Amino acid sequence: MDIKLINGGVCAASGFKASGVHCGIRKNKTKKDLALIVSNTLCNAAAVYTTNLVKGAPLTVTKNHIADGKAQAVICNSGNANTCNANGIEIAEQMSELVAKETNINSNDVVVASTGVIGQPLDITPIAEGIPILAKSLSENGSQDAAEAIMTTDTIDKQIAVEFTVGGKVCRMGGIAKGSGMIHPNMATMLVFITTDVAISSQMLQKALSGDIANTFNMLSIDGDTSTNDMVTVLANGMAKNSEITAECEDFNTFMKALNTVTVNLCRIIAGDGEGATKLLECKVSGGKTLEISKTVAKSVICSSLLKAAMFGADANWGRVLCAIGYSGADVDVTKIDVSFISNKGEILVCKNGAGVNFSEENAKEILLEKEIIIDVKLNDGEFNSTAWGCDLTYDYVKINGDYRT
């Protein structure tokens, strides 16, 4: 089952075009703030949404639009979340109608998303003026522009695409994402738009997405805050001409592997670009009695503010790992736990059977000064493994969020 990384982002799959422009929502004219993705044909669609009770108006509109399992376009603005606005639903629907007018598709087949400041009125005027330009700019090479247009505090655009074979047909899948802060999801994360030319039913597409996020986006945390606008959508237009996947089978397993490759890559990119972050942290937990135990431990470690701060300072303070495991609520035997820190500079064991071991602080610091750190936790109590992603906690995180709105 060969999954090959390719270029192209959301335009890698056949029949998809994208664009991104500055329309005027954001004051900085050098930053794009409006993105559009369109398929040549109607797609089967699936989505997952934030569990926050306070939800952006676009999520409500999108959920209604794809209730029939169909969509053909995605419109997304940055700079304003369109959340807690009295006329938020009206604005989101207007965005759909404007896209429909310029692309000759049904307004009910438009996914709507917004990201940015919560509680600020969103003026439709710049969006209405920008969408005609956005539609004219649609291109098979437009993924870069779209990825830039959905960024807020992100410092890099986030894209991935893969190529694989289903039923003897070459298929492609690509995604773009935004997310740097307010990331601690219970369903998905930030905004992620995935496109594919695989023929797969809406029901199986939803099953694939819901199954995947439990071990990918649900295992990603930057700062412990779950956003109001988190959403992951997948559009599948079937243009690869494979026999439609309508049940669990070998083709479905291949699709799941491709989807997982896309989502894991996006998780790593997002975690490494956390607000103010200097390091990508990956906690690998093995030997849990159950999958839930391993997942709980991994997430608790990656969410620990004390551990995140220690990683920023390249301090091999392994006690903070044990502390996070201890309050996680997971059923573990602390006397069996081993902990190691790993990076490109090597691996160092810092805890054995729940107790400290002699190790070189100098070597440990050299390992922890790298940009990507693995926190390897062996529970030695079963056969279940899990991985979670996050980043270090730095001075800049506070600076960014101290004046985010103003």
Q: Which amino acids are annotated catalytic?
A: 189
Beta strands in 55-140 (DSSP E): 70-80, 110-117
Give the chain's end-to-end CA distance (angstroms, integer).
50
DSSP state for residue 242 in the 8-state scheme: P
Beta strands in 243-362 (DSSP E): 280-288, 338-343, 346-352, 355-356
| Residue 350 CA, distance from chain mean position | 31
The DSSP bridge partners found for residue 14 are none
The pairing of beta strand 231-236 with beta strand 191-196 = parallel
| Residue 149 CA, distance from chain mean position | 16
Q: What is the DSSP string of 29-63?
A: TTS--EEEEEEEEEEEEEEEE---SS--HHHHHHH
CB under 8 Å to 28, separation ≥6 — which residues? Answer: none
Inter-residue contact 227 to 182 (CB < 8 Å): yes
- Which residue type does 251 have? D
Beta strands in 150-248 (DSSP E): 158-166, 169-178, 191-196, 231-236
DSSP state for residue 41 in the 8-state scheme: E
Q: How far apart are CA 342 and CA 368, in angstroms?
A: 8
